[in-house]
Chain A
Amino acid sequence: MGHLDDKELLERFRNPETRSYAFNLIVRKYQERLYWHIRKIVISHDDSDDVIQNTFLKVWTGLESFREDSQLFTWLYRIATNEALTFLKKKRRKFALPLVEVEQQLARTFEASPHVDGDEIQIKLQKAILTLPEKQRLVFNMKYFEELKYEEISEILGTSVGALKASFHHAVKKIEKYMDLD
């Protein structure tokens, strides 16, 4: 039962008797991918933990109505992305911070958090990514780190493939400049 594909997991989820178990398997299958996706957006581990819990809570309540028009993992990514962005928006509103200040605050997390462990270049790269506009940041993370196809990113973000390619191109140029790679 541990190696079921998404279709079989969904079938079991729709059966009230195996619903909880199937959900547990879905969480186990996707938790790491979603966690790291969220972590790259909100940076802090504690915030990522809150966001991933909210994400799976939404999945639990919404999975029954999932129509399989898209792949399960792109649907999960979409929920995780929305939850992470909503979290940042709330944070911005709560502390009445402008957008740039939030990104600077996220960058400061690299110095303060006990859950940051990497070399100087890795941290500098993350700081460079935080200077990007929100959409470019998402596209860059999904393309560069998670190696998703443009078609998949398009399904997650609801943006055309052409626009995504342009966003990624601009993001790469800005990061190269920040990292002094020109």
Chain B
Amino acid sequence: MKDLENNSDKLELLGKELPFKVPEGYFDELPTRIQNLCVGEEKKKTQVSLFQLVKAQMSLAAGFIILVGLALAGYYFIKPPADKVMLTNDDYIEIVEKHITDFDEGHLLNAVKDSREIHTPSNDMTEEMIRYLLKDNVDYVTLMEEY
């Protein structure tokens, strides 16, 4: 057990000197170098902390921008441009011809009536015209016959 615990006597003869050396003044300037390194690291850590601080907000903003971008892209991909859904009169006629059996007479008449109403001048317009004609001394009876 003694052999296990203690250095070998034979080895002791070799001595404990190390065959290494260091540059002159190495241990005098090492503490300063280490101190500078630690201070530099501390500064770096502070900068990193600042970045970490705004990192969350920046991620949130970036996420929001991406989300808006995706939403806009999705909207334009799903919804075709307005001019593509504009139907011409010929299209309407074709649709009605194809599905004529789906419409009853009443519906068609109502639709025609509605479309005429659309082209009828508005009440304001009519009154304006009446006022104009009256001003020009047009006969009221003629006027009533006209409208």
Contact = CB atoms under 8 A, between A and B. Distances in A.
B34 A165 contact: no
Interface stretch (A24-32, A73-81, A86-94, A97-105): A24-32
Given A60-B41, A150-B5, A172-B8, A53 B34 contact: yes
A34 B110 CA distance: 101
Nearest to A143: B7
B17 A122 contact: yes
B11 interface: yes
Interface in B1-56: 3-5, 7-8, 10-11, 13-23, 27, 30-31, 33-35, 37-39, 41
A24 B35 contact: yes
A57 B44 CA distance: 13
Given A24-B31, A169-B3, A118 B19 contact: yes
Contacts of A121: 14-15
Contacts of A176: 8, 10-11
A165 B5 CA distance: 6
A115 B38 contact: no
A57 B38 contact: yes
Interface in A98-149: 110, 115-119, 121-123, 125-126, 143-145
Nearest to A117: B21
Given A27-B35, A56-B34, A122 B15 contact: yes
Given A28-B31, A150-B5, A176-B10, A144 B16 contact: yes
Q: How large is the interface on B (under 10, 10 to 19, 20 to 34, 35 or more residues)?
A: 20 to 34
A24 B32 CA distance: 8
Nearest to B9: A181
A172 B8 CA distance: 7
Contacts of A116: 19-21
B11 to A, nearest CB: 6
A56 B37 CA distance: 9
Given A24-B31, A45-B23, A166 B4 contact: yes
Interface in B46-102: none
A110 B19 contact: yes
Given A115-B22, A144-B7, A61 B41 contact: yes
A129 to B, nearest CB: 11
Contacts of B31: 24, 27-28, 31
Contacts of B5: 150, 165
Contact of A181 (B10, B21, B30, B39): B10
B4 to A, nearest CB: 4
Interface of B: 3-5, 7-8, 10-11, 13-23, 27, 30-31, 33-35, 37-39, 41
Given A60-B41, A119-B19, A122-B19, 7 more contacts: A20-B39, A52-B34, A144-B16, A172-B7, A172-B8, A176-B10, A179-B14
9 contacts: A20-B39, A35-B30, A36-B18, A52-B30, A53-B34, A56-B37, A115-B21, A150-B5, A175-B11
